[in-house]
Chains A and B, each alone.
Chain A
Amino acid sequence: EPEVTQTPSHQVTQMGQEVILRCVPISNHLYFYWYRQILGQKVEFLVSFYNNEISEKSEIFDDQFSVERPDGSNFTLKIRSTKLEDSAMYFCASSEAPRVGNQPQHFGDGTRLSIL
């Protein structure tokens, strides 16, 4: 069964450094998402992306965050200047175009980001 893959599984970064989290969505999917989960807390939506542009973003997704689909297979999340509070699990998800019927989202197993 096709799956969403994320790399790396664990990223350790010094505060203030830039970090790029990578995702390969399911190949025929058109919508892409990033979520995060701080340890012990709820899964929170960050951003959705369709047709090479952001379609929706949350208040968490401020100017320090950006997303990109640099080629036909990868989807990346960049944090420009990391803060301690960015430490979390980051999940990538993808779905077919959510037309009638609400296509489910398929999640990767996440990247654990630790900011020192």
Chain B
Amino acid sequence: DAKTTQPNSMESNEEEPVHLPCNHSTISGTDYIHWYRQLPSQGPEYVIHGLTSNVNNRMASLAIAEDRKSSTLILHRATLRDAAVYYCILKPYSGAGSYQLTFGKGTKLSVIP
């Protein structure tokens, strides 16, 4: 899988928006951008994914740069429950045949009350 780069850690105040960046300069045209998070003592949890257009769901928004070399996960209003490690993962179009997720170190988000 193509490599992603994320800051090791970030802090946010509760009820403030959070923008978590991810660089993926070697992304290929058929790679999807996935975000997962892992709360303390839990398994990874799917957050959102996209290909080219910005995406919204009930958990977050995903903003994808026009050249697709970077993306930003947006939590509109951080809560204490959003404190977790956030992983940005590139996944090839399913026809490539590899379905495993390759986790990096992610960004550890701390939310300050």
Contacts and interface: CB of A to CB of B under 8 A. Distances in A.
State the main secondary structure of chain B at its contact with A. loop
A107 B99 contact: no
A55 interface: yes
Given A99-B94, A106-B46, A45 B100 contact: yes
A26 B7 CA distance: 33
B108 interface: no
Interface residues of B, number: 23
Nearest to B42: A109
Nearest to B44: A107
Nearest to B87: A43
A45 to B, nearest CB: 4
Q: In the complex, which of the residues B32, B41, B101 has the most CB atoms of chain A within 10 Å of its own CB atom?
A: B101
Given A4-B43, A42-B105, A105-B44, 19 more contacts: A33-B99, A35-B103, A42-B104, A44-B103, A45-B101, A55-B99, A56-B97, A56-B98, A58-B100, A98-B94, A99-B94, A100-B93, A100-B94, A102-B34, A102-B91, A102-B93, A104-B34, A105-B101, A107-B43
Interface of B: 32, 34, 38, 41-46, 49, 87, 91, 93-94, 97-105
